[in-house]
Amino acid sequence: MKLLIVLFLFLAAFSLEAKPLETVMYVDLARYQGTWHEIASIPQFFQRKCVKDTTAEYTVLSREEIRVLNSCTTEKDERIVAEGRGKVVEPKTNAKLKVTFANFKDKYIYLLAGNYWIIKLDDDYQIAVVGHPTRKYGWILSRTPGIPDDTLADLTRFLEDRDYDTCDFFTTPQEGGLTEKRKLCDIGK
């Protein structure tokens, strides 16, 4: 009987595991390149000094590699920049990349790269949502510093439908966009 209970609990815990995170069907990297403004994200240690105006600029270097240039403004109103590389790991879709900022003697080290999965992308390449299969990383990106409230609400529902805790996301203050940092789950309440 105890074995049955343990087996039941194990299977119940296993079945509660999040469903696999799906990416978009295809990303045209030439259209994806350019500047994106961070609208909201799950705060990460490497962004700890960022307080506003966070952007990512992507430049295609080859069929499988892109240059990543992240920048933001600090509390002291200084602009900081980090350069990295992204490597396409699923060439059929271009939606799964590994991104690294680890650079040793002008060589980027992909062993230290993180997953960068494009899980939503509008047809005009104006809004993107980037995720990670563990759901511990996530970004809402836009070509403009601000997006309409209803679009942000739709993106919040999109993330919830994919088993993200939207209370883990915080909005990013942007010149011309949102003016304060707030939990995404509190937007519209």
4-47: pLDDT as tens digits: 333 333 333 333 456 899 999 999 999 999 999 999 999 887 77
Residue 127 phi, psi dihedral angles, 5° rounding: -130, 135
| pLDDT (0 to 100) of residue 91 | 96
- Structural fold of domain 20-186: Lipocalin (2.40.128)
Residues 57-115: tens digit of each pLDDT:
999 999 999 999 999 999 999 999 999 999 999 999 999 999 999 999 989 999 999 99
Q: What are the sequence ranges of the domains in the chain?
A: 20-186
CA dist., res. 112 & res. 100, Å (int): 6
User: Using CB atoms within 10 A of its CB, is residue 131 exposed (0-12), middle (13-18) or buried (19+)?
Assistant: buried
- Rounded mean pLDDT, 185-189: 77
What was the pLDDT predicted at 46? 72
pTM of the model: 0.88
| C-alpha dist (Å) from residue 51 to 32, 35, 56, 163 | 25, 18, 15, 27
Confidence of residue 188 (pLDDT cuts 50, 70, 90): low
For residue 31, give the 3-state DSSP assignment: helix
